[in-house]
Amino acid sequence: DAKTTQPTSMDCAEGRAANLPCNHSTISGNEYVYWYRQIHSQGPQYIIHGLKNNETNEMASLIITEDRKSSTLILPHATLRDTAVYYCIVRVGSNYQLIWGAGTKLIIKP
Amino acid sequence: DAGVIQSPRHEVTEMGQEVTLRCKPISGHNSLFWYRQTMMRGLELLIYFNNNVPIDDSGMPEDRFSAKMPNASFSTLKIQPSEPRDSAVYFCASSSVWDRETPNYGYTFGSGTRLTVV
């Protein structure tokens, strides 16, 4: 199963871009990279996903390296409401399960 | 769509009592997942269903836990008898298995049930 590695925690100043890294060196060619976030006491919320190309939506941008062994989630203008745990997940195997790690606790500071 | 609906939001029960958690998935979604989350162990998959059929229950901690999905719009997770170590937040999530080969595949989570067993 492909695994992901993320920093345990990160800080970012409000209004600045938050860049959250993720390593997935064992990812296979057809596995997507998903990002979710969990704000305290709520269920995880989908942010973005990608396969090879960089992706952008109204919430964030996802940059995937050419070898696909790592990716970066970018929140372009972080706000206090972006404080959450961010999970980088690789869809795994024939059962299409999302395998959850510990995530990165992102704290946005005023 | 109202999203994935879980009830109750909070449950406090005494050790030894039966607890039933409920989930209504998004209409049209045919995969349903039950997760448990604690500070120590993070998000753990307990069981998941495709088209109302349990596919993998290897995450169910022991025989005290059981889950059913009698139809496409309802699932229950039952703990009998409950123990203090079962205290956690239980999440239900749903997805469409028909999307699993497409980039649209992803999970939608409910708001969770916070269970406290005293």
Fill in the DSSP letter of residue B85.
G
Mean pLDDT is lowest, of A50-54, B69-73, B109-113, for A50-54
Decide: A13 and A109 in contact? Cβ < 8 Å: yes
What confidence score (pLDDT) does residue A90 get?
A: 86
Average pLDDT over residues B80-91: 97
- C-alpha B51/C-alpha A46 separation (Å) is 23
Decide: A56 and A62 in contact? Cβ < 8 Å: yes
Confidence class for position B98, pLDDT limits 50, 70, 90? low
Return the higher-pLDDT residue of B56 and A76: A76
Return the higher-pLDDT residue of B102 and B116: B116
Return the higher-pLDDT residue of B34 and A30: B34
Decide: A109 and A53 in contact? Cβ < 8 Å: no
- C-alpha B5/C-alpha A6 separation (Å) is 30
Decide: B23 and B35 in contact? Cβ < 8 Å: no
- pLDDT tens for each residue of A82-109: 999 999 998 765 566 777 888 999 999 9
- pLDDT tens for each residue of A35-49: 999 998 899 999 998
| Beta carbons of B97 and A91 less than 8 Å apart | no
Decide: B57 and B66 in contact? Cβ < 8 Å: no
- C-alpha A27/C-alpha A43 separation (Å) is 26
Chain A residues near residue B97 by CB distance under 8 angstroms? 96
Tokens of B116: 């406290």
CB atoms within 10 A of CB B85: 10
Q: To which residue do tokens 């992803």 refer? A: B106
Average pLDDT over residues A11-37: 92
Confidence class for position B19, pLDDT limits 50, 70, 90? very high
Decide: B50 and B30 in contact? Cβ < 8 Å: yes
Within an 8 Å CB–CB cutoff, is residue A42 touching chain B?
Answer: yes
User: Does position B105 have pLDDT exceeding 80, yes or no?
Assistant: no
Q: What is the DSSP string of A28-87?
A: -TT--EEEEEE-TTS--EEEEEESSS-EE-SS-EEEE-TTSSEEEEEETT--GGG-EEEE
Which has the closest alpha carbon to B44: B23, B17, B65?
Answer: B65
Rounded CA Rg of chain B: 14
User: Does position B52 have pLDDT exceeding 80, yes or no?
Assistant: yes
Nearest CA in chain A to B89: A41
Average pLDDT over residues A55-63: 94
Chain B residues near residue A95 by CB distance under 8 angstroms? 55-56
Rounded CA Rg of chain A: 13
Average pLDDT over residues B81-98: 92
| Beta carbons of B4 and A95 less than 8 Å apart | no
Size of the A and B interface in Cβ pairs below 8 Å:
45
Tokens of B10: 């909070």
- C-alpha B113/C-alpha B68 separation (Å) is 17
Percent of chain A topping pLDDT 90: 65
What confidence score (pLDDT) does residue B103 get?
A: 57
